[in-house]
Amino acid sequence: MSGELDKISGKVKEVAGDVSSNTKLEAEGLVQQGVGKVKEAASDIESKASDTLEEGKAKGSQLFEEAKEKATALADEAKEKAEGLINDIKSKF
């Protein structure tokens, strides 16, 4: 049962219990309304957590690509320097 449905059902029980002086039914209604509120809060938290996770994945992918590009550029630069040093050494012999 969804949170909203629990809240509505609980309110109906609460009112029915109040009208009929059935304190047990009234209490059940209050508890069911509370359960509905908790379900809605949990659903909101789950949704926000999922959104945050997706944002984190996207940011992580972006950072990975940036790091990969920088690493490739540094590797290319190091290769060029090494080749230059090798050529300098070769020219001395």
Tens digit of each residue's pLDDT (9 = 90 or more) over 14-35: 999 999 999 999 999 999 999 9
* Residue-wise pLDDT tens digits, 56-80: 999 999 999 999 999 999 999 999 9
On whether the pTM is more than 0.85, the answer is no
Query: What percentage of the chain exceeds 90 in pLDDT?
Result: 89
d(CA 67, CA 74): 10
Q: What per-residue confidence (pLDDT) applies to 9?
A: 95
- Residue 1, pLDDT above cutoff 80: no
